[in-house]
Structure 1
Amino acid sequence: MKILNLILLVSCYVRNAKSDVVFEISNREPGPIWIGIQGNPGHPHLHNGGFALNQAQTFEVSAPDNWAGRFWPRTWCDPNSKHCETGDCGNRLECQGAGGNPPATLIEITLKGWQGLDYYDISLVDGFNLRGFIEPVNGNGPQGQYSCTKAKCLSDINTDCPNDLRLIHAGLTIACHSACNKFNTDTYCCRGAHDRPETCRSQDWPKDYPAFFKNACPDAYSYAYDDHKSTFTCKADRYRIHFGDSY
């Protein structure tokens, strides 16, 4: 009887255990980058929040199947000071829960969201530093343009960035600020009287900066109240994430 109870207990545990989802993260830059990872409140910071990736290197990170959080690339990082010129999280290799200092390209995902689907997107709300994409591997979901397909931003935004949004380092444009990050006004940041979709429309701004980002990367969110066509859904146990300029 004791053996039978033990078997039933183990069987119950296996059925209820959370299975892992694997994120396969690759660097397509011609040099090293650092990856930042931040879990949403109540979720762990995978791999303690970050690691380095050399050129053409891929690293796999496992997450609980109900995880939610974000990934971003950090560039021009100094291994001695641990400071990165873009996406820095406090002069450390492992971000340990800290977010990235914009501008930085964000990849966001919520596993097992509404109706058990995974929701993922690529966001330029905090600006842009590297091209990137996220795609499910052998995923399943409803039919449609935004189901189980690649969410991507593969345009060379740094080269075409408006002059007043450019982040310059060593004579090069290494990132492109968002209007909110650059100017910090209620209008551009959708704050105060502009804190809802009806009063924060980029076409009403003094300059429609999000239009530049949206035209370059239609898949990506360009500001806080961008349309919902940038949210993708799927159900998969593996996701592929790439950052870099070699596409």
Structure 2
Amino acid sequence: MANKLTFLLLAIIFISWIPTGVESLGTRTFTIVNNCKETVWPGITHGENFKGSGFALKPGQSAVYTAPATWGGRIWGRTGCSFDSNGNGTCQTGSCGSSLNCTTPGSPPASIAEFTLGDVDYYDVSLVDGFNLPVIIIPLKGKQNCTTVGCDGDLRRNCPAELALNSSGKVIACRSACNVFNTDEYCCRGMFGDAMTCHPSNYSRTFKSICPVAYSYAYDDPTSIKTCVGADYIVSFCSSRNETVCSYHNNVLSCSSPSSAATAFGGWQSVTLAIILMLVLGFCS
């Protein structure tokens, strides 16, 4: 009987040891999805010790980007780009200079997905520098109150005329009031440089009405920044916050739909648990 109890105890210890999240792996996976009807050139910038990236995604395409577990940086989409075989060129919006591979932040206006990863992740979508594409962030496999954030409305259709960036008679982006007027009040600087003195403007309220869970101005924290623990993330352009978006990486399929949120890794853990329990029951019978 003592041997059976010992075996059962070891089995329980083994089950509890099985890793259940990405925090045990030391890296995080970002799946970048283009659900737009146009090609998007995602740009990625981050800390000084991790060089930038950039590439093209045609409509319906996705790409996987792997970063350290304590990564911090920005992901955004560039539009209207033309690059030569050496990766040199220009973009109409979100340009990070003349290179396909971004090593500097994108130029306004651009919708930006921001991340600071660690023991607790902080993430948000910022329209403080303007809007060029709908973009949402979907956490996968995370713990605690991990929620989808971002802007799935298209501000180009509702952009105030004085903020509109036009090309060939078409609104291709919506600039921020700070970018257009460059005043301390709109830019939250000088005597307006803190949360007590910097308040939403009529322009930022327009942004907020269309994108209620994205930053509309610099101190729009309470409804915009979210936290999560140990997640991978989907950054999806032109997707709805309510639709299912999937990530496929290392033979693992993860989807944002609650009914299919379990990953293949989680399924493997459940199968392992079932096998161990069957062995335990057979051994103890």
Classify the TM-score, shorter chain: 0.7 to 0.9
* Structure 2 CA distance for partners of 1:210 and 1:216, relative to 1, 3 Å: same
- In 1: Cα distance, 2:56 partner to 2:114 partner: 19
Identity rate, percent: 44
The match for 2:230 is 236
Q: Deviations over 1:48-102 (max 9, x none)?
A: 321111111110000000000010000011124610010001011001x211000
Secondary structure of the corresponding residue to residue 85 of structure 1: coil
What one-letter code is carried by the residue in structure 2 that aligns with 1:34? W
1:39 aligns with 2:39: no
The match for 2:83 is 79
Secondary structure of the corresponding residue to residue 229 of structure 1: coil
Q: 2:115, 2:124 within 8 Å by CA — same for their partners in 1?
A: yes
Cα drift, residue 197 of structure 1 = 1.6
- In 1: Cα distance, 2:234 partner to 2:46 partner: 18
Secondary structure of the corresponding residue to residue 235 of structure 2: strand
- In 1: Cα distance, 2:215 partner to 2:231 partner: 24
The match for 1:93 is 100
1:109 aligns with 2:115: yes
The match for 1:188 is 186
The match for 2:146 is 148
- In 2: Cα distance, 1:38 partner to 1:127 partner: 18
The match for 1:138 is 141
- In 2: Cα distance, 1:193 partner to 1:242 partner: 37
Secondary structure of the corresponding residue to residue 86 of structure 1: coil
* Ranges in structure 2 where 5+ consecutive residues have no aligned partner: 1-23, 244-285
Cα drift, residue 188 of structure 1 = 0.8
Q: 1:82, 1:92 within 8 Å by CA — same for their partners in 2?
A: yes
- In 1: Cα distance, 2:35 partner to 2:76 partner: 14
Cα drift, residue 18 of structure 1 = 6.4
* Structure 2 CA distance for partners of 1:29 and 1:71, relative to 1, 3 Å: same
Residue among 120, 125, 135 paired with 2:123:
120
The match for 1:226 is 220
Residue among 58, 61, 65 paired with 1:57:
61
- In 2: Cα distance, 1:213 partner to 1:134 partner: 18
Q: Deviations over 1:151-193 (max 9, x none)?
A: 1211121001111100001211010001001111111111111
Cα drift, residue 43 of structure 1 = 4.7
Q: 1:106, 1:122 within 8 Å by CA — same for their partners in 2?
A: yes
1:199 aligns with 2:205: no
TM-score normalised by length of structure 2: 0.72
Larger RCO (alpha carbons 8 Å, 6+ apart)? 1
TM-score normalised by length of structure 1: 0.82
Cα drift, residue 237 of structure 1 = 3.9
- In 2: Cα distance, 1:169 partner to 1:178 partner: 17
Q: 2:143, 2:231 within 8 Å by CA — same for their partners in 1?
A: no
- In 2: Cα distance, 1:223 partner to 1:189 partner: 8
What one-letter code is carried by the residue in structure 2 that aligns with 1:225? Y
- In 2: Cα distance, 1:110 partner to 1:245 partner: 23
What one-letter code is carried by the residue in structure 1 that aligns with 2:234? R
